[in-house]
Structures are given as structure tokens and as C-alpha cells.
Structure 1
Amino acid sequence: MATQQFSRRTFLSTSAAAAAGVSFLWTPEMRAEMPAPVIVGPTDEKLDAFITAYMPMMNAPGLSLGLTDAEKALRAAGYGYANVELRQPVTTDHLFQIGSITKSFVALVLLQLRDEGKLDVQKPVLDYLPGLPIVTEFGTVTVHHLLTHTSGLPDNLGLFSADPAARLVQGFKPGEHFHYCNAGFDILGLLAEKLDGRPWRVCVAERIFKPLGMNSTRGVITTADRARAAVGYQPYWDDQVYPRQGKLAAAANMVMDDTAGCIQSTPDDMARYLRMMLNGGKGPGGRVVSEEAFKLFTTPYIKAEEFSPTSSYGYGIAVDTLDGHRILRHTGGMVSFASSIHVDMDGGVAAFASINAMQGYRPTAVTEYAVKLLRADREKKTLPAVPVIADPMDVDNAADYAGAYTAPDGSTLEFKVDGKRLLLVDGARMIPLQRAGGDAFISASPSTRAEYVFAFGRKESGKEADAKKKQPPQPVIEVSYGPEWYAGSRYDGAKEFHAPTEWAAYAGRYRSDSPWGGDAHVFVLKGKLTIDGGPLTLLGGALFRMGEEDWSPLTAEFLHLFEGKTRLARVAGMEYWRVEVG
């Protein structure tokens, strides 16, 4: 059976929603009342038409937008609500958490230090920080490897564990693969602090914010800025899979200085930052980094298809093409914010957008359409049409999944099609399903709480060489719901599966206290141990590799066996405790 695509970034759900606070769900009345900025031209009109349709479809309470060319800011605007309960509109003064876009700031600070002769990016990072809790058995990790996500270290959130003996262990030789690694940029933040001699918040303010006039931006996330910050929102029921249009709740306040993603900013300030990129590293008062350093910053070192099929990665920034133009781009995902930047280096325009909810994916559609509009306007060409936003409930290939599926015990699941809708038959009820990605679906019924996704599997395409050729998708032959497996009429494989008896001790529901954690469901499916549908491969004892790649550095370990059950799972460096609450 085809397993779900797995990475730490897709595995992590959001954790406990604040007990207090208003629930949020877009209604036609709220959409009609949604605060929006003043339209001043045809470019604004088209972009606003797209954004006002995009936000309810993404279930985003508010959005912050900044647009610029190489000479000046073109627009800063707020849409929707910074605080839903108070019906407080988003303004250009509200701080939004920009998440992993912070990584480009880290890279530029380090390139400044390189310009000053304080750093050699090709030197081992352990030469600078010898006490790091890392194991480099596959090869030396340089600063360059960390900047390009090619170190081989796992993408753990948090460098230092409660277990003083814990180490980040490589999974592959540095430089061989792109593996997004937040812990690597936490290391780079520590390196910046050591070489600069000041805390990160001071270092980045003095080196980047002040020279660019980013006077409202903050280098860390703290409750001291709560009055200026937009309220972030996350799923109301965070222990379940949730549809995009599911109810939201205000997230708890966050305090964070991890340099993988700790900057808060405004649209005006982000426009200043992007303007520096459009000018090749120059700010209003001169160069922020040298020409040579900016070239290092924007060189495409390794393919990074996690961003797009055409993306590569530079130093803390993705390098891509859009309509034949060279662009710089990145996204940022926080517990309750999602952000995106597009910088069209050839077209001379750039866009920033951030929403105060972690719904669907980042607002890349907004920033991409914005730069297309700005470029067309700049070149006196016809403005591109407003993109059609697909209804998240539409399943164009719903017929692929329709039919009855039978479990080994004789129980069945049945799916039907109604137009472009895929429906689960539940007695007299028809439960609508929403695509969660690929061949996976979740219940979109507001009255149905569901622990798992419905993961359909297709017939294998045969030889590996044939599988790489573009061809029609193979037929759907099976479906799973958590540990439950059902075969379709076209399935002709084995129907009895066996797993080591000790794995029964690992199976169950685990929960993390981290704001990045949430729930993890461990179960045996078709004789294989999985965690939230992602495959686990035994490395030894109770330690497993996560994901399908044989080089994946991510691991899951099951600890504290008591009364036949392990009580702790250490997953991608975070601790999850077993919970049995029904």
C-alpha cells in the first residue's frame, strides 16, 4: 500500500488550543463585513478580489500584505481580523510571525560576519561551537551545510533535549541530500551570537533591522509585544484531523528565540527587507552584505523540491523561476501563522503575505499572483486574470475512490460520488470528505470528529524505471483508516499480515506538551509499524527510522515499558507521552 508522504514538517500538528478565546468560522455575514483596504488602482482591484476570495476559502481570519519594487514601497495593507473576538481589523502596524523566513535573516547576518573576516562558511561548525550535541559519523558538518539544509542532521525542533545524553545524529553524508533542518538554523543562531558577541535579538536588530529602517520588527517573539501583535488561530479540536473550514480557536501566547523562525514583522518593514534583496544586498544607507556575499546568498546549491518542482536552495532562501524570471522565495509556518515571500529579481518587484492561522499551506498563491500583477503593470502588459480558487471540497477524480472496500474481518467501507464530491456512506448519512493531500482524505463534517485520515492506496506501477515515466495513475485498490485496512475489488495481494509481537507495546496515542507537537498515533498497518501513516523502519531495539528514504535522519524511539506498554515516544527529538482518554 502506498504510504503517506512523511516529513517532520507534515507530521507536526498544532498543539493545545487556548481554552479561552472565541471560536472562529467564516460565515457569509462575516465575509460581507470583512475589513479590507482602500483600492487605488486596477492592480489593487484584482489582487483584492483574489485575496477576499482566498481568505474565506483558506479560513484565514486576517492577512497582512506588503508590496515593493526596487525603489519604493508600492503598498502595505491589512485584511480581515487581527482579533476576531473584538472584531479588530488587521492594520499595517500589527506584528505577524514570519516563521522560517527568519532563516534568510540568519544567513545574511552570518554573511556579514564572513565579510568582516570572522567566519569561514567552509569550516566545520564544531570548530566554532565545539560543545554542540551532534554526532557527525557520516562526515564533517560545515557552516555551508547548515545554511543549505544538507548537513545530514535531523529536522528536530529544539537542539537541546531534557536528556543530557541525547544527540542529533546524522542520517547521510553532508551535501548528498536536501533535508529541511530547523535545528541547523538554531545552531547558526548560536554561531551568530558567539561571533557577534551579542544576543540574537540585538545582533539582528543592529545588523539588519536598523540599517534597513525596519523599526517595528522584533527579533524574538515575546508577550511584551502582545498588544501590537495579531492574535494567531489554530484548530479548535487539535487532537483530531481537521478540515480546512473547521472551527478555529485563539492560540496560546508564544515566547520564542529559536532562530529557525522567531521574527515578528509588519508589511511595511518586510517590504523594506525585500527591497534590499531586489537591490542585490543594498539598503538605503549602503550595502548590507558585499556583492560576493549576496551572490553566495542566492546561489542555487541543491535541488529543493519541497518548495516546488523547480526550486533549489541557497543560504536560507529558495531560488526558483516563475514565468522565466529568477525569483527568491521562502515560506514560514508557525503554530498559528503562515507567511510567504516572492522576490522577482528579474522583474524588480516583490511581495510579502502572512495570515494569522495555520490553515492549508502558506499564502504562496497570494505572493505569486501579486508579483505577476506588479510585473505586468510595470511592463505595461495586460494584467493577469484573477486566479480561480478551487473549492477545497471538490475532488476532480472522485470516481477513482468510489466503491466498497472490505476488511479481513468482513466489515466494509463504502464511498460514493456526487458531482465533484466524495462521500463516505455511514448508514443513512453521507459524510463529505476533503482531500488532505495526494490520495488521503479527511471528514469535512462539522459534527464528525475523526482521529485518522482515509488513506487510499493504488496499484504499484511495476518496475522503478517505468514508475518514473509520466503515465496515467494506477487504479485505487485499498484504503486504510488508522490501523484498519480494507481491500477493494481490484486488490489481488496478501490479506494476512504479521508483525513482531513486541510492537503491540508501542501502539497507541501519544501527546506532546510542546506547542509544536500535538498528538501522534502509532499503529500497525498491514504488518508494518507506522506513526500517523508514515512508515517506521526498525534500526535496533525500540529505535526506528521515520520516513521512506533509507537516509532519513529522523527517528522515533519508544521508552519506559511498563505493564506491557511504552509510556514515552521520542519523535523527531520531541517527547510524546502516552495518553488513554477514549
Structure 2
Amino acid sequence: MDIARRGLLAAGALAGGMVLARPVLAAGLPVQVGADSASPAFRAAFERLVAFARSEIEAWGFPGLSLSLLGVNGEVATAGIGFANLDVRTAVTTAQLFQIGSISKSFVAVALLRLADQGKIDLDRPILSFAPDLPVEDARVTTAHVINHVAGFPGNAPPFPHETGGKLWSGTVPGAHFHYSNSGYDMLALLIQRATGMAFPTAMRQLVFAPLGMEASEPVIRTRDRALFASGYGPLKSDRAWFPGDRLVEGSWVDIERAAGSVAATPGDMAKWMRFISACATGAPQPLLSAASARRFTSPAVAAPDFGADAKYAMGLAGFAIDDGPVLHHTGGMITFSSAMTVDAGQGGGCFASVNFTGFDGYRPRRVTAYGVRLIRALAAGTALPDAPEAAALPPVAEPGNFTGRWVWPDGVAMTIEARAGGLVVSTAGRTARLRPDGPRSFRTDYPHIPTDRLDFEGERGRAERLWWGSALLGRDAAVPQQPSDPKLAALAGRYMSNDPWVGSVVVLARGQKLLVEGFGELAPHADGSWRFTDPELSAERAWFDATVNGQAQRLSLSGEPMIRQS
């Protein structure tokens, strides 16, 4: 499941665990390469890719990376880089499974396209006409709407949400608006079960994995297979922002059987998957789909700004251009893994990469897979191999002077924000902490023992004049009048948390006459008793507050996921 704006609930979640890991030692990262049958030219290109991937995880401080490169002519190379387990210092191997997250959606799309080719379903008819008991509220929703994220479903509602009678609602007219929904894909597993008469994992193996020879991979994540996986990691300090190089902790293991993202794969099997996608995109022979379904699978048609200004989406893949050449792309973020896959849609070939570090902090190895595509294009064209991008973790803050200076709390206490080594630091109450960008005018901090780690700046003409830290408004060089909160809104404000690692926590703030979910925007009351985001891009999401005790709401259900107030 991709965790970013597309994963509203998971944005507050961080991996938990108890095994303290030693820091990654960049100079000692092991590398295992599998490229025995590759030509010298392809091996030379892959060596460049491996070197860049290694420098990337060194810059970020990630444990390890699983990598595969597929050439235009079908050549394959794979690699394991870094550590599969930091505590015992075992190396990543090319035989280990990594969780690929939302890249799984392309597998689900192909399974449904196969069922359509067999006449068992019609992707363009209302889904309820095939399965009238599926949890869908709007009878106009088709299977294709769900696959393409235009059903209007919420991003991460649980199965059968209590607040809506167990059904997924459509926040927009089906077909009219892209809103990335893991919930919709999870429901598609039920449709696959109905159409095949098999359990979801069995159906996926028979429809997709077995015909492509992906024998090392698994359609679901289960404890019984844990020994086959690299260990996954997250931040040691989960109550504040993580910065590259901070210490890590082995994350919680969670069994996952979700069509939205439960495939686990080796890099060799991912090369087989990219070969299949390449064949569909270029019209080459492939064993699964009719020619029409292959074209539909690899012809993104729905505007999908989540993937870029000019990106389009269809059938589990996003399409856009790299250096004026079309690619098919997807990423995946899991509790303790982050992945990316990029396939050249014009001539075939592609690159897959996955790191064993949490996907909840925004990172995906996109730069690695984009560089891989550039390398195979240069090989195919017979031109010089491109230089690797500069390895870097967090980008420098643009125009730091807009944010630096002296800031004053409502009680007159001052703090300073300074630029240091391309970044920003905040100093107050005798402590100094780092800031990292989290939007054009927002930052997160690792300042200890605070109820919220997010700072939001306001001001005209670029230079910030006011700073929100939680519900407090700070002024530049002098305290500014506060905006008294509506008591009814203040009764809803607070930190709400779930022990489900997929849900995590959110902070609800009352700022004057506005109620906000920190990091996502303003909520407004609706006539049906729910609260809804004023941002049209979040129109499919809902919030419900209830269980009032001592004048405060004790429970928040955010798009159906319950969270309890924390003191």
C-alpha cells in the first residue's frame, strides 16, 4: 500500500518493535550480484546501477536493498545490497523476499483482466451486477472504476466500516475523479474469490504467478514464511520525525492478505513481472492476456496527479515520461518496506528496487529505478552510459531565509530557527532540534517531548511572518494575538491513536474557528453528522467523533478506522 497523501490514516503510523539495531556502517555494506548470463556491456551498466543504489542507501542510512534490472533484449541482473538483519549482520541475498506493497495492484488488475477475457466478469458493468452483496454503496460503480481509483472510495477505510452500514461510500461521481483507494482494491479480492470459487491467494497463484514462473514469490504475507524475508525496519524513536542516519529498530511483523498490497517477491521474480509488462506494452507475445486486454493494461488513461502533474493511471500502473520516453510505474509502501518499479513502455525493459525500511515516511527508491531505465535505454541506443545522480538524502531547504529568525511564543518565550549545513534547526528551552521539509511551508522536527512534531508557517510574499506549532501561534520577533478556539471544536481536538500499525495516530487541532487534522487540512461539519475535509482532493474521506466524556470526544473514526484519545 502506498503511504503518502494516498494513505491518509497511515501517515501517522510508524513501525514498532523491541529489537534495537546497531547503526548501519556505510563502509561495510555487502553486495551480492547475480548476472552470470549477462553480456559484459549489460554487466557494466548494472555495476553502475548497483553503485548508485549502494550510495543511495548509504546516504539515507537504510539497512538493505533488493534490486533487479531487465534489459530491452531480455537480459537480467539482480543484486542484494546491504543487510537483511542488522542485529546479526546477515547480508541481503537475491533469494530473499521483500514486500512490494502497492506494486501488488498491477497483479490484481491482471487477474481481473484474465477473468474478463474468460467471460467471468465484465469490467465495465456495475460491480454489484456480478456480486450484489459486495460492500458498495453506489450502484454505478464498475470494476474498472475500482481498479483505476475513480470509484470515489476512501483511501484506507477498513473492510465493512461500521459508520456506513458496512459499505464503502463514493465521495465523488464514479468515474469522475482520481482518488487513490486501498479500500477498493481490498474489496476486489472478494470479487476474485466469487469469480473463481477459490481463496484469494490460490486464485492469484493460478491466474498470475504460476503461468509466469514466479515460483519464489508469494501473493500474501504470512508468519509461516517469515524466514524467507529480509527483516524490515523503522525508526527507533517513533514519536518524532525521523532523519537519515538515525538509529533503527526491527519493525513489527504483520500477516497481510490484502489485494491492495500483499505480494512478496524476489528480485528475479520481479524481472519476470517486468518482462510480462514490457511484452504487453510493446505488443510482444505473452501468456496471460488477450491483445485487447494487454493494451488496456498498459494504456494509462485517467489523470492521476498523485504520480505527477502529467501522470495518468489505469489497471494498477501509472504512466508518465522520463526524459521524454514513456514509462509505466508504481511504488509501494509497507510497515517496514518501501519499493518502486519502472518499466520502459516504449521498448521494454525496466528496473525494480525495494528497501527494508518503513514506507510511512515518504521515501520510495524512485531515483534508483529511474536511473535503471536510463541505463537500459543507453545500452539499447548504443550511447554512453549516463552518470548516476548525486547520492543525497533530504534535499536542502529552498530559501531558508523565509523561515529563519527569532520566533516568540504567546507567553513571550523566544525560540530561534537557524540554517545549518543546508538544513534548519530550531532552538528553544535550552534544546536544539532538526527540521525537515514536509510540504512547501511545513516542517517536521525531532524536538523531544512535544505533542506534535509539525510546524506550519504563514505569511505573504514568501517570507513567513507567523508560525503554527500545534494550536499555538508564534510571531516573528514578537508575540501575536492568539485566535481563541470555539469550545465545541476544542472538545474535539487532541491526539488520537490506534495500536494497529497501519493506522497509527493523528493530531486534531482547533485553531480559532477551524478544526484541522494536522498535515492534511481543515474539517467541516456535514449534515449527516460526519466531518469532511474542505480540500476537494480529500472529498472521499470522512471523520466521526463520539464517546464524549468530561466534555471531550474520546473516539475519532477517520474514514471508518477507530482511534482513541490520548492524554
User: TM-score by structure 2 length?
Assistant: 0.91
In structure 2, C-alpha distance between the alignment counterparts of 1:383 and 1:562, rounded to whole Å: 65
Give the C-alpha shift of residue 449 in structure 1.
Answer: 5.0
8 A Cα contact 1:544 1:557, kept in partner: yes
Q: Determine the structure 1 residue equivalent to 2:305.
A: 305
The answer as to 2:462 corresponding to 1:474 is: yes
Asked if the contact 2:67–2:78 (Cα under 8 Å) also holds between the matched residues in 1, the reply is yes
Aligned equivalents of 1:126, 1:231: Cα separation in 2: 40
Deviates further, 282-291 or 190-199: 282-291
Match of 2:201 in 1: 201
Which amino acid letter does the alignment assign opposite residue 79 of structure 2? A
Shift of 1:553: 1.1
Contact 1:6 1:547 in 2 (8 A): no
Counterpart of 1:488? 476
The whole-number CA distance in structure 2 between the counterparts of 1:437 and 1:389 is: 22
Residue correspondence of structure 1 range 275-354 to structure 2 within 5 A: 275-280=275-280, 286-354=286-354
* Counterparts of 1:255 and 1:163, CA distance in 2: 26
1:511 is the counterpart of 2:533: no
SS at match of 1:135: coil
State the match for 1:126 in structure 2.
128
Residue 438 (structure 2) aligned to one of 436, 439, 451: 436
Q: 1:527 aligns with which of 513, 532, 535?
A: 513
Tell me the amino acid that sits aligned with residue 85 of structure 1. D
**Alpha-carbon shift at residue 540 of structure 1 (Å):** 4.1
Match of 1:23, as an amino acid? A
Superposed CA offset, 1:435-454 (max 9, x none): 23332222357xx3554334
Q: What corresponds to 1:497 in structure 2?
A: 483
1:180, distance to aligned residue in structure 2 (A): 0.2
Residues 6 and 16 of structure 1, relative CA distance in 2, 3 Å threshold: closer
Quickly say closer, same or farther: Cα 1:130–1:249, change in 2 above 3 A.
Answer: same
Which residue does the alignment assign to 1:12?
A: 11
- Alignment check: 8 A CA contact 1:212 1:283 kept: no
Classify 1:33/1:450 alpha carbon distance in 2 versus 1 (closer, same or farther; 3 Å).
Answer: farther
Matched-pair contact (CA < 8 Å) for 1:482–1:533: no
> For the Cα contact (< 8 Å) 2:84–2:230, is it kept in 1?
yes
Q: Percent identity?
A: 31
Q: Which residue pairs with 1:179 in the alignment?
A: 179
What secondary structure, in the 3-state scheme, does the structure 2 residue paired with 1:536 have? Answer: strand
Which of 513-522 and 548-557 deviates more?
A: 548-557
| Superposition deviation, residue 232 in structure 1 | 0.9
> What value does the CA root-mean-square deviation take over the aligned residues?
2.6
* Separation in structure 2 between the aligned mates of residue 16 and residue 453 of structure 1, nearest angstrom: 17
| TM-score calculated relative to the size of structure 1 | 0.89
Distance (Å, rounded) in 2 between the aligned partners of 1:530 and 1:182: 23
Paired residues for 1:96-495 under 5 Å: 96-136=98-138, 140-161=140-161, 165-280=165-280, 286-358=286-358, 359-392=361-394, 394-426=396-428, 429-444=431-446, 448=448, 450-459=450-459, 474-488=462-476, 495=481
The answer to whether the Cα contact below 8 Å between 1:211 and 1:285 also exists between their aligned partners in 2 is no
1:34 aligned onto 2:29 = yes
Aligned mate of 1:22, from 16, 20, 34: 20
Distance in 1 separating the partners of 2:357 and 2:137: 36
Amino acid at match of 2:424: L
Counterpart Cα distance in 1 of 2:451 and 2:490: 19
Corresponding position of 2:557 = 570
Question: What is the CA-CA distance between 1:7 and the residue it aligns to?
Answer: 5.1
Partner SS for 2:306: coil
Give the Å deviation of 1:167: 3.2
Q: Is the Cα–Cα contact under 8 Å of residues 60 and 357 in structure 1 kept in the other structure?
A: yes
Contact kept in structure 1, 2:412 and 2:478, CA below 8 Å: no
Query: Match for 2:237: what amino acid?
Result: W
Q: Give the SS at the match of 1:375.
A: helix
Shift of 1:547: 5.5
Q: Which moved more, 1:516-525 or 1:36-45?
A: 36-45
| 3-state SS of paired residue (2:273) | helix
CA offset at residue 162 of structure 1? 5.9
Task: Report the Cα distance in structure 1 between the residues aligned to 2:110 and 2:125, rounded to whole angstroms.
Answer: 17
Q: Contact 1:281 / 1:288 at 8 angstroms: preserved in 2?
A: no
Local SS of the residue matching 2:305: coil
2:535 aligned residue = 548
DSSP-derived class of the 2:104 partner: helix
Residue 529 and residue 245 in structure 1: after superposition, are their counterparts in 2 closer, same or farther (change >3 A)? farther
Cα 1:541–1:238 change in 2 (3 A) is farther
More displaced stretch, 126-135 vs 182-191: 126-135
Matched residue SS, 2:406: strand
Give the conservation status (yes or no) of the 8 Å contact 2:410–2:472: no
Moved more, 399-408 or 502-511: 399-408
SS of residue in 2 equivalent to 1:168: coil
Q: Provide Cα deviations, 1:406-437, integer angstroms capped at 9, x if missing partner.
A: 34443433212235232212255543322233
The one-letter amino acid paired with 1:425 is S
> Which letter maps to 1:65?
L
Q: In the alignment, residue 388 of structure 2 is paired with which amino acid? A: V
CA contact (8 A) 1:332 1:338 kept: yes
**Residue in structure 2 matched with residue 469 of structure 1 by the alignment:** none
> Which digits, 9 at most, give the CA deviation of each residue in 1:71-94, with x for residues without a partner?
534201100111111111111110
Q: Which whole-Å CA distance do the structure 2 matches of 1:565 and 1:23 have between them?
A: 40
- Whole-angstrom distance in 2 between the partners of 1:542 and 1:505: 16
CA gap 1:173/1:121 in 2 versus in 1, 3 angstroms? same
Displacement of 1:376 in angstroms is 0.7
Q: Indicate if the aligned counterparts of 1:68 and 1:274 stay in contact, CA closer than 8 A.
A: yes
Contact kept? 1:413, 1:425, Cα under 8 Å: yes
Counterparts in 2 of 1:319 and 1:286: CA distance versus 1, 3 Å: closer
Aligned length: 554
Structure 1 unaligned blocks of 5 or more: 461-472
Q: In structure 2, the residue corresponding to 1:384 is in which secondary structure? A: coil
Spell out, residue by residue over 1:277-334, the C-alpha distance to the aligned partner (whole angstroms, 9 max, x if none).
1111799995210110011112222111211222100111111111121111000111
- Kept in 2, the 8 Å contact 1:337–1:356? The answer is yes
SS of the equivalent of 1:23 reads: coil
